[in-house]
Homo-oligomer: A and B are copies of this chain.
Amino acid sequence: MAEKLKGETRESPDIARTALASTAEPIQVNFNTLPAEENPPDRISIRDVAKQAGVSIATVSMVLNQNPRISRGTHVRVQRVIDSMGYRPNRLAQSLSSRYTQVLAVILPPLRHAFADAYFGEILSGISDRAGKLGHKLLIEQAKPQYIKEGKHIELYERRFVDGVLCLGFNEKHTFLSDLRQYPMILVDNRFGDGVLDYVHCDYRMGAKQAMNCLLQLGHRNIGMIYAAPESPTARDVLEVYTTELRNAGIEVKESWLADGCFTDEGGAAAANLLTHRDKDITALLCGNDKMALGAIRYLVEHGRKVPQDISVVGFDDIQHLAYANPSLTTVHLPLYELGVAACERLVSRIRGKVDRVADVLPTHLVLRESTSIVRTR
């Protein structure tokens, strides 16, 4: 138990303060000297500006929208008034008449930790950055069953919340996607119904080929696979390339080499358990994502199998901070940030009617780290 010294309790913690002083910049937040905003920031409308500038509201509107029919002189004069009054156009009114909201929605699957997920996070970063640059705001939604049942995803367009939608983490099982096919929408990192919906996804076939090449070159022949979500076309791509590449190497794939890991780390651990028990000779595991790979490694290490000495593991995603795992993970790098950028870019093009079909596939590459090694000869 902590012994308490009388008279010392509740004393000011100087040392902490000292530490602070040395690191923190001086902080002064004096609210009395802050620029006094006009108390009720009385909404200034386009009419006020027009009156002040001695022109019609149409002129102000045209100045706002850089309409070339406005003369240089008027433009400058009106702009000056706009700036001096601190006028900012009400975008509800703008959207109401212009029919564009300048807002995009991102729909995520109803997973408990969808927002804390590195995979979605990386894509979201890309989307957010590009949306900002294109002058669009981002609305975030989770497609809970109730949400879909109530048709909220359709309301997004119908009630004019957004101009377009990006769907992340969905596959062909999510039939609500087809409700959106008549609106600007892009399915991110998957395909749907043989390409009925616009999409942008990573080249999972290329990634799988890169991973399998690596393992085969390291001499592995008994390679297990922890897959997930076989209803997802891109996930299926990996499975297919996996078997094809084995065949091409003259190896007959055993059914017992396959296990579903549900994209989670627990699932990955469970799958590793299953696979290693079904076939003691497996020397390598290809995993559908990094989380499962991590779970598998944890399971293996905890059960006395050394990674990579006894068994090699390859992941998919190349999630940040997993480079720091122990052993660090060999994985297929998916350009998730770029995927987000591309998806956002294409969606805006679609909204503006500049393209009428989006079907992009982004290249991957393999990142060799510590979780793979040459097969051990017994």
Binding site for B on A (CB under 8 A): 1-5, 8-11, 13-16, 18-20, 23-25, 27, 29, 31, 34, 37, 41, 88-93, 95-96, 101, 103, 112-118, 120-122, 124-125, 128-129, 132, 137-142, 144, 147, 155, 158-161, 172-173, 175, 178, 181-182, 192-193, 196, 213, 216-217, 227, 230-231, 236, 239-240, 242-245, 247-250, 253-255, 258, 260, 265, 295, 298, 301-302, 319-321, 324, 326
Contact = CB atoms under 8 A, between A and B. Distances in A.
A102 to B, nearest CB: 10
A159 B125 contact: no
B9 A247 contact: yes
A255 B118 CA distance: 36
B140 A128 contact: yes
Contacts of A249: 2-4
A239 B19 contact: yes
A37 B27 CA distance: 59
The 3 closest A-B pairs by CB, nearest first: A116-B121, A13-B243, A2-B249
Contact of A140 (B4, B37, B140): B140
Contact of A137 (B10, B139, B181, B295): B139
Q: Tell me the number of copies of this protein.
A: 2
Contacts of A117: 116, 121
A160 B92 contact: yes
10 contacts: A2-B245, A3-B250, A9-B248, A16-B236, A16-B258, A19-B255, A19-B258, A24-B231, A115-B122, A116-B319
A250 B138 contact: no
Given A31-B196, A92-B95, A125 B137 contact: no
Nearest to A13: B243
Nearest to A111: B125
Given A10-B244, A88-B155, A27 B161 contact: no
Given A1-B217, A88-B159, A265-B321, 17 more contacts: A1-B216, A2-B217, A5-B248, A13-B244, A16-B239, A19-B260, A24-B173, A27-B172, A31-B178, A31-B196, A41-B158, A92-B92, A92-B160, A113-B118, A114-B125, A116-B118, A138-B139
